[in-house]
């Protein structure tokens, strides 16, 4: 009789396409005046899942729960049965107004670790049990902010520099909102010659994105930024 092999692997994806557990939004926005916000997680699989949730200040590969964030997430551990959903709440703590800047939004990460249960009747065979971590951003917005995230995305200042066969694009965000990018591509005419994964530029900050080993001349950069509703909006530099 084969010995049961139980291996637990932690797989990291911003939004996992393999996990049966789905966060039913791409981001959570918590406004200062609301004090709390909720989001839904659905188990689309055919067996229960045990979830552990936590908040983090930075995006990293660790599953260690660390960092002092001025919010609480409820419940932090939960079981969701097959084809069922559950509502989770993020609640501001009393020190949130004194611990975070008032002139810009702050960004945190909601982490969800999904440990699916073993199907009944599968105990007698070799089994690879995989736990998935998915994560989305939490945006905390003070009441004093002017404008909107969508306006911020249209006011970005880009510069281009070429170094050998590398195209280097620097973006400056002079607005109080973060701008998240889904992807970047370099175009020669209508042809895509290079691409980069997405990223984010924070409020009042600068970030650089580099395309390596591109020999083509006369290129244009295409990028997509993400709205609060999760829509991808296409833009170009130069416009």
Q: Which residues pair with 57 in a beta bridge?
A: none
- Domain boundary at 85, 111, 141, which? 141
Q: How many residues does the chain have?
A: 239
| Same domain for 49 and 134 | yes
| Same domain for 32 and 121 | yes
Cis upstream peptide for 44 (omega within 30°) = no
Please report the pLDDT score of residue 15 as a whole number.
43
HSE (side-chain half, CA atoms, 13 Å) at 107: 15
Strands of the sheet with 36-43, listed across from one edge? 21-23, 36-43, 85-92, 71-74
Residue 84 — pLDDT band, cuts 50, 70, 90? very high
| Same domain for 129 and 219 | no
Please report the pLDDT score of residue 16 as a whole number.
46
| Same domain for 31 and 110 | yes
Please tell me which residue, 52 or 127, carries the higher pLDDT value: 52
Please report the pLDDT score of residue 166 as a whole number.
97
* φ, ψ (nearest 5 deg) of residue 98: -100, -15
Tell me if 204 is assigned to some domain.
yes
| Same domain for 116 and 69 | yes
Tell me if 7 is assigned to some domain.
no
Tell me if 4 is assigned to some domain.
no
| Same domain for 127 and 47 | yes
Domain that holds residue 62: 17-141
Dihedral sign (CA 89, 93, 97, 99): negative
Residue 13 — pLDDT band, cuts 50, 70, 90? very low
pLDDT higher than 50, residue 7: no
> Is the Cβ–Cβ distance between 22 and 136 less than 8 Å?
no
- Provide the number of structural domains found in the chain: 2
Pairwise CA distance, residues 208 & 201, whole Å: 9
Rounded to two decimals, the pTM is 0.85
> Is the Cβ–Cβ distance between 166 and 193 less than 8 Å?
no
Tell me if 66 is assigned to some domain.
yes
HSE (side-chain half, CA atoms, 13 Å) at 187: 13
- CATH code of the domain covering residue 183: 2.60.40.10
Tell me if 12 is assigned to some domain.
no
What DSSP element (H or E) covers 52? strand 49-56
Dihedral sign (CA 2, 3, 8, 9): negative
């Amino acid at each position: 009789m084969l010995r049961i092999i139980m291996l637990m692997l932690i797989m990291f994806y911003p939004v996992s396409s393999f996990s049966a557990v789905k966060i039913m939004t791409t981001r959570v926005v918590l406004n200062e005046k609301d004090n709390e916000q909720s989001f839904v997680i659905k188990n689309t699989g055919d067996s229960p899942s045990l979830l552990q949730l936590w908040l983090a200040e930075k995006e990293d590969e660790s599953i260690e729960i660390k960092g002092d964030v001025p919010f609480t997430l409820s419940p932090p551990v939960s079981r969701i049965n097959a084809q069922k959903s559950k509502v989770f709440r993020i609640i501001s703590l009393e020190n949130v107004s004194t611990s975070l800047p008032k002139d810009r939004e702050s960004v945190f990460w909601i982490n969800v670790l999904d440990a699916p249960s073993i199907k009944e009747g599968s105990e007698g065979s070799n089994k690879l049990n995989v736990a998935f971590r998915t994560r989305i951003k939490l945006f905390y917005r003070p009441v004093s902010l002017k404008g909107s995230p969508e306006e911020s995305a249209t006011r970005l200042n880009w510069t281009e520099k070429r170094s050998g066969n590398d195209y280097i694009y620097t973006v400056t965000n002079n607005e109080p909102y973060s701008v998240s990018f889904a992807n970047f591509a370099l175009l020669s005419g209508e042809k895509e010659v290079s691409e980069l994964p997405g990223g984010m530029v924070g409020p009042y900050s600068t970030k650089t994105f580099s395309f390596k080993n591109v020999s083509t001349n006369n290129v244009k950069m295409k990028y997509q930024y993400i709205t609060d509703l999760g829509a991808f909006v296409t833009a170009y530099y130069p416009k």
